[in-house]
Amino acid sequence: MVDVSTEAPAELGVSVILETIGTRVREMRKAKGLTLADLARATSLSTAIVSQIERGLANPSFSTLVQLAHGLNVPVGKLFPDEEDSHSPVVRKNARRDLKGRAPESASDDTVFELLTPNLSGSLEAIWVVTPPGSTTESTPFKHGGEEFVIVISGKKDVYLNGERYALEAGDSITYNSSIPHWFGNSSDEPCASISVITPPTW
């Protein structure tokens, strides 16, 4: 869901984040020689919504930001205000970077996305993902360059590749080309914890 209201967000912090996201999307789009229509086609979003986001007037959902990042061929973290990259090879459990937590609308969705690698500057990234029962990304399929590996730690996870469903349980894993349209679901009645490893980084 994308809120395209032109009313300014109530909190200054959210306003700053939205402006930063919009500026970065616009700068990256222009640097790649893309028009608004080009980026809209690459992301399956409307030109109007992309324009609203670039001007800081829309409050995009996290899945929308992922679509934009994939359309620009950059990690989604590059759309947010800068955070200092860790120089340590170790990421402590209580110090993981909350990728989704920086998205203004993320509070309405209980899905967790935490970075397990120190930063987004390497050749791969690993993400800790926890999805609540009944969650699905079917309405916003992902498609981008690279390769992905997913292993389920607990619960159950449905991975759809070009519409074909692969049901995974704890201990199961799957590897696929990320250029294949894919989405995820949790049709069980318990949360699912999984780890996704992606190369090159796209989150």
How many angstroms separate the CA atoms of 181 and 47, rounded?
Answer: 21
Average pLDDT taken over every residue of the chain: 85
* Spans of all domains in the chain: 2-74, 93-199
For residue 108, pLDDT over 70 is answered with no
User: Which CATH code fits 2-74?
Assistant: 1.10.260.40
- What is the reported pLDDT for 6? 34
Class of domain 93-199: mainly beta
Report yes or no: 2 and 60 within 8 Å, Cβ to Cβ.
yes
For range 62-67, the mean pLDDT: 84
pLDDT (tens digit per residue) in 158-180 = 999 999 999 999 999 999 999 99
- What is the reported pLDDT for 111? 87
Angle made by CA atoms 19, 21, 27, in degrees to the nearest 5: 100
How many angstroms separate the CA atoms of 184 and 193, rounded?
Answer: 12
For range 142-150, the mean pLDDT: 90
- What is the reported pLDDT for 110? 81
How many angstroms separate the CA atoms of 164 and 162, rounded?
Answer: 6
Q: Percentage of the chain with pLDDT > 70?
A: 86
| Inter-CA distances, 51 with 20, 23, 201, Å | 14, 11, 25
For range 191-202, the mean pLDDT: 93
